[in-house]
Amino acid sequence: MTFLLRFHRPRMRPVLAQAADLATDRRVVLRAGLSLATAAALLPYGAHARPSQEHVLIIQDHEFEPVSFKPQVGDTLRISNHADITHNLYLTYADGQVVTLDTQPPGTERTTVLNQPGRVFIKCWIHPVIRLEFDVAPAGT
């Protein structure tokens, strides 16, 4: 059985370019007369934040592709049905929250924004054999 896995990330500039921009921003801030403390307070955000990403998860027949991405809270999961059967998937978060996606005929995609850190299970209401689990990291880690 062939497994395909793709995940798309928004274009990210190289870290060095971001760091250079941050340094420039700091000089601008200083020239604007704000305190060093203010600039220092901005630094952790610029150094650690990562933009939300979109991860594509493909389902073939009755199985998901293995997960190789590292999702965070706020990331979007795009599930693409490459099977020739309809699925109706749902996510279960660690606290029991259930998010049901719409019925998903062959060739269609459904998206959901991951809203909690921790273990997430994806199953199908129609095909209980289908099961996938992965971890979601807190935002900004």
State whether the Cα torsion 126-128-130-135 is positive or negative. Answer: positive
In the set 126, 138, 140, 141, which binds Cu ion (CB under 5 A)?
A: 126
DSSP secondary structure code for residue 117 in this structure: -
DSSP assignment of 65-116, as one string? PPP----BTT-EEEEEE-SSS-B-EEEE-TTS-EEEPPPB-TT-EEEEE--S
Site for Cu ion in 12-41 (CB under 5 A): none
Task: Write down the least CB distance from residue 98 to Cu ion, Å.
Answer: 16
The candidate with the shortest Cα–Cα distance to 81, out of 54, 64, 58, is: 58
Question: Which residue, 30 or 126, is less far from Cu ion as judged by CB?
Answer: 126
Distance CA 22, CA 28 (A): 10
Task: Write down the least CB distance from residue 108 to Cu ion, Å.
Answer: 13
Task: Write down the least CB distance from residue 27 to Cu ion, Å.
Answer: 55
In the set 79, 124, 132, 136, which binds Cu ion (CB under 5 A)?
A: 124
In the set 127, 132, 134, 136, which binds Cu ion (CB under 5 A)?
A: 127
Site for Cu ion in 58-97 (CB under 5 A): 87
Report the interface residues with Cu ion, using CB under 5 A: 87, 124, 126-127
